[in-house]
């Protein structure tokens, strides 16, 4: 994982830190070409993107019911390693999720999250409350891109691929208390999985910080910006070293 940084005007002296992905790739064998053939032939994907997926490492955080669809999508896509972090009281469900993942695709390793974020390419946080965002400061210190999916109303996905902003200073409320679940929460979650696929496979350049806001099944994308805050935020505690 690498990070690039530059001074940015108009951010109150903050440093712009752009996160990066590793360039690891593994060479596909004939069995893997057969397994992922339907994905490889998709325009813009190809064998190179598949090799990147097989070499990638993903952190997936949230309740078992919320992360399960993303897990299935990522496992089926061939992400090499997925580290799962479930909330207290749900740890027993991790084995069931890992077993199901192994049956779907034995090439993907699913295991409990580690204390260290070393080696990760992306973190996907899914939930109906701000709790998953508690991990963001540590992820940003490790320069890991974060995709934060809120399944409550209104559905939104924050792709935090650079600093600023962080959840505390973003110009949208990412840390508000839980609201009723969005009626299309499953759709929002699968859009998040699709965006994670694009980031890990590098089928497009890593986007600048972006917010996806949902109104039913309609989605509007806009730049995620920093607003002025009176208290230190995650951007304040992150350096470009």
pLDDT in tens, 203-232: 888 889 999 999 989 999 999 999 887 777
Q: How many domains does the chain have?
A: 1
Predicted TM-score (pTM) of the model is 0.85
- Among 17, 35, 47, CA closest to 75: 35
pLDDT at residue 5 tops 50? no
Residue 36 lies in a domain: yes
> Is there a domain that residue 241 lies in?
no
3-state secondary structure of 60: strand
Q: Answer yes or no: are the C-beta atoms of 11 and 4 closer than 8 Å.
A: no
Range of the domain at 64: 3-223
Q: How confident is the model at residue 123 (pLDDT cuts 50, 70, 90)?
A: very high
Q: What is the pLDDT of residues 57-106, one digit of tens each?
A: 999 999 999 999 999 999 999 999 999 999 999 989 999 999 999 999 99
Q: Which residues contact 110 (CB under 8 A, 6 or more apart)?
A: 71, 75, 81, 82, 84, 97, 98, 101, 102
Closest CA to 169 of 129, 238, 227, 237: 227
- CATH number of the domain residue 209 falls in: 3.40.50.720
For residue 52, cis peptide bond before it (omega within 30 degrees of 0): no
């Amino acid at each position: 994982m690498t990070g690039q940084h530059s001074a940015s005007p108009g951010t109150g002296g903050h440093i712009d830190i752009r996160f990066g992905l590793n360039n690891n790739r593994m060479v596909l064998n004939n069995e893997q070409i057969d397994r992922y053939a339907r994905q490889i032939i998709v325009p813009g994907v190809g064998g190179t993107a598949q090799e990147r997926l097989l070499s990638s490492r993903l952190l997936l955080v949230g309740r078992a019911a919320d992360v399960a669809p993303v897990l299935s999508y990522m496992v089926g896509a061939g992400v090499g390693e997925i580290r799962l972090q479930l909330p207290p009281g749900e740890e027993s469900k991790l084995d069931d999720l890992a077993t199901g993942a192994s049956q779907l695709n034995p090439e993907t390793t699913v295991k409990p999250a580690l204390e260290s974020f070393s080696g990760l390419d992306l973190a996907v946080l899914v939930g109906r409350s701000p709790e998953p965002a508690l991990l963001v400061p540590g992820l940003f210190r490790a320069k890991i891109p974060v995709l934060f999916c809120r399944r409550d109303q209104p559905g939104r996905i924050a792709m935090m691929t650079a600093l600023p902003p962080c959840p505390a200073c973003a110009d949208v409320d990412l840390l508000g208390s839980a609201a009723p679940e969005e009626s299309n929460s499953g759709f929002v979650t699968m859009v998040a999985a699709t965006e994670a696929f694009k980031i890990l496979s590098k089928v497009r350049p890593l986007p600048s910080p972006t917010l996806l806001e949902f109104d039913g099944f309609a989605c509007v994308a806009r730049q995620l910006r920093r607003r002025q805050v009176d208290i230190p935020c995650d951007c304040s505690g992150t350096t470009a070293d």
